[in-house]
Amino acid sequence: MITIKTLQDIELMRRNAQDLCVLLAEVLVRALPGVSTATLDAAAEASIRAQGAVPAFKGYRGFPGSICASINDEIVHGIPSPTRVLREGDVLSVDIGMVRDGFFADTATTVCVGKTSQRVERLVAANSHALRLGIEQARVGNRVGDISHVIGDYIVSQGYGVVKNFVGHGIGRQMHEDPSVPNFGKAGKGAKLRPGMVLAIEPMAMEDVGVERVLDDGWTVVTPQGGLAVHLEEMVLITEGQPELLTDGHSLRAALEPTAGWSV
């Protein structure tokens, strides 16, 4: 069932989303060569709890971390570990969530550790543009399929593969609410968008074309042939006019770029 948020709900969700973006930026400045993903996870949990919130992922269906830290060919749900040490040039996707005052916030981004390359920049740029196209379709009267179609169509047009078994979602008092928001589909299909809906739109693009697979740990999703993958996620409020980006994490994280040692 799709839930329509009240003005009070929206204000709480907006505050949570904005604070979560700041927390993610604080985690990412630590994403340097030689740092383990467990170190990033510990920093994320401490920061979330310092905000009076609870990590949304920790314990969710048994997931052991406060963030998902996925490296290179890992698309999503990478488990933080002290043995996963970042190296120069790694492509790192971090997904982070929290719950406070009864409402969830969820956002993700991909960065390159240390020096980047044109190969990575092109992949990230394609996924970023696909996300922007999807957000533009998040308008009253459109349908979920309008978002899904433009995301998938653009990713494929750039020569990349679309992840099909893991999708975006509604968000509110539950981390995953209706409707599901796939990154592929037909325009004009799916649930109609109404004011007060909040969607977590999260395109995932990969160099490989094929079906992603889950590792034996039951969580980590990897590309079919070992190509690189990237993941972005923003929370979007459907309004009577322009869609409102609740997280707007890209702007906050980009502001830290000159001193952080990483790049979007």
Residue-wise pLDDT tens digits, 158-174: 999 999 999 999 999 99
In a domain, 214, yes or no: yes
CATH number of the domain within which 58 lies: 3.90.230.10
| Residue 30 belongs to a domain | yes
pLDDT of residue 251: 55
243 upstream amide cis, omega within 30 of 0: no
pTM (global) more than 0.75: yes
List the one residue out of 80, 57, 73, 91 whose CA is nearest residue 212: 73
User: Quick one: average pLDDT of 230-254?
Assistant: 86
78 is in which domain, residue-wise?
7-263
Q: Is residue 22 part of a domain?
A: yes
2 within domain boundaries: no
94 inside domain: yes
Looking at the structure of the chain, the number of domains it has is: 1
pLDDT (tens digit per residue) in 73-120 = 999 999 999 999 999 999 999 999 999 999 999 999 999 999 889 999
Alpha-helical runs (H) found in the chain: 7-28, 37-50, 118-136, 144-157, 249-260
DSSP class per residue in 2-18: BPPPPHHHHHHHHHHHH
Domain membership flag for residue 1: no
Share of the chain above pLDDT 70, in %: 94
